Amino acid sequence: MPQTREKEIIVEAESPEEAEEAVAAGASAILVKEAGKGPPRVGAKIYVLGENVVPVKVSQPTDIEEVYRIASSGAEAILVETSEMRIIPLENILARLQGTGAKVFTRISSLDEAEASFGILEKGVDGVIYRPSSIAEIGVLVDMLKRVKSVELRAAKVREVYDVGMGERACVDTIAMLRYGEGMLVGSMARMLFLVHNESIGSKFTPPRPFRVNAGAVHLYTLSPTGKTLYLSELRAGTRILTVSKDGSTRVVTVGRVKIERRPMVQVNAEVDGVLGAATLQKAETIRLVTPKGEVVDVTSLSPGDEVLCWLSPKAARHMGMEVDEYIDEV
């Protein structure tokens, strides 16, 4: 089912101050219990429970027909409240309400429930209603909605590999256990980013550290969840970044810490269909790129003519990390 309208993050706010903070953090709407109780200048839509949002308890299959009746009567939005199973009733409701025009909202009690709610039947609910424990959680929900779901990885042919002396590199430790084939996209130019593998493999002299990506020199770009570029030097504990698997699928992970240390570095230059890209990485056997076959190759074994997975940006120019239409030539 195609997605036809913007998803909404609706915050239950107890005060005008909370509402204003929520909207500033990215909430698209505020839910209030009585008309006139919302802040007068919040800059977002105000939903009033019982008026333009009709709550309906769903505990048995016959309740779905009641939801359909309310939706067909012209209700703007319906808040589906379930006591037990959540996914199956919502699937049935979304299928039943096609064509009515009514929005379907659900109340979530944790961030974990949000992604499932937005993905039901590929279409998902139109909005989640949430009372966050902190303003930062709203940012997590916004990233979840706007995040890059997948990227197209291309085979780039390595043209040059050579030492460039000492430099500062950023070792990114995440709060997630990264899988084989998963890593971070990094590059010296935004037009081409290389897939650097995590350290889940280890070596004869180092144990596996599957939470870590030794991502490369501090000047390299990587991707935020929404596709904006960040410098590795900008990453901090708590920063959310995009990790990418060898098949192009993505997920959002949070940085636990970043270690910037001085190490010997190696330059990798590669090309895809006439597009040139580069990455400066630590020269060590535990720093690995990913081949088009999904295998890993460490940078100390990399040679001209080898192929590695890269991502090409549709636009080469960036301003403050955002894609822009302008001429740029990075070398």
Task: Give the Cα separation of 177 and 158 in Å (integer).
Answer: 29
Higher pLDDT, 25 or 112: 25
| Contact criterion met (CB below 8 Å) for 269 and 276 | yes
Kindly state whether residues 131 and 161 are assigned to the same domain. no
Tell whether 262 is covered by a domain: yes
Task: Give the Cα separation of 306 and 299 in Å (integer).
Answer: 11
Kindly state whether residues 306 and 193 are assigned to the same domain. yes
Tell me the residue range of the domain where 79 lies: 8-146
Given 115, 146, 177, the domain boundary residue is 146
Is pLDDT at 3 greater than 60 in this prediction? no
* Coil, helix or strand at residue 15: coil
Task: Give the Cα separation of 257 and 128 in Å (integer).
Answer: 31
Which CATH number do you get for residue 125?
3.20.20
Which CATH number do you get for residue 298?
2.170.16
Kindly state whether residues 188 and 301 are assigned to the same domain. yes
pLDDT at 279: 98
Kindly state whether residues 15 and 33 are assigned to the same domain. yes
Q: Which two tokens stand for residue 61?
A: 């299959």
Kindly state whether residues 118 and 186 are assigned to the same domain. no
Kindly state whether residues 64 and 180 are assigned to the same domain. no
pLDDT digits (tens, 9 = 90+) for 181-237: 999 999 999 999 999 999 999 777 889 999 999 999 999 999 998 888 999 999 999
Kindly state whether residues 173 and 318 are assigned to the same domain. yes
| Contact criterion met (CB below 8 Å) for 92 and 80 | no
Kindly state whether residues 49 and 159 are assigned to the same domain. no
Q: What H or E segment, with its residue span, contains residue 153?
A: strand 153-174
Kindly state whether residues 29 and 57 are assigned to the same domain. yes
Tell whether 330 is covered by a domain: no
- pLDDT class of 92 with cuts at 50, 70, 90: confident
Higher pLDDT, 189 or 111: 189
Task: Give the Cα separation of 322 and 215 in Å (integer).
Answer: 21
Nearest Cα neighbor of 215 from 159, 290, 280 is 280
- Backbone dihedral region of 88: left (phi > 0), alpha (psi from -120 to 50 degrees) or beta? alpha
pLDDT at 263: 98
Is pLDDT at 125 greater than 70 in this prediction? yes
Tell whether 184 is covered by a domain: yes
Q: Which of 34-48, 128-142, 314-328 has the highest mean pLDDT?
A: 128-142
DSSP for residue 234:
G
Given 129, 146, 163, the domain boundary residue is 146
pLDDT digits (tens, 9 = 90+) for 131-164: 888 888 888 888 777 778 889 999 999 999 999 9
Is pLDDT at 76 greater than 50 in this prediction? yes
Q: Which of 66-75, 247-256, 316-325 has the highest mean pLDDT?
A: 247-256
Tell whether 82 is covered by a domain: yes
* Coil, helix or strand at residue 145: helix
Q: Which two tokens stand for residue 142?
A: 């916004």
Number of domains in the chain: 2
Tell whether 2 is covered by a domain: no
Is pLDDT at 327 greater than 80 in this prediction? no
Kindly state whether residues 86 and 186 are assigned to the same domain. no
| Contact criterion met (CB below 8 Å) for 268 and 158 | yes
Tell whether 1 is covered by a domain: no
Is pLDDT at 1 greater than 50 in this prediction? no
Tell whether 40 is covered by a domain: yes
Kindly state whether residues 209 and 292 are assigned to the same domain. yes
Tell whether 328 is covered by a domain: no
Kindly state whether residues 117 and 65 are assigned to the same domain. yes
pLDDT at 177: 96
Given 104, 122, 146, the domain boundary residue is 146
Higher pLDDT, 122 or 267: 267
Higher pLDDT, 41 or 269: 269
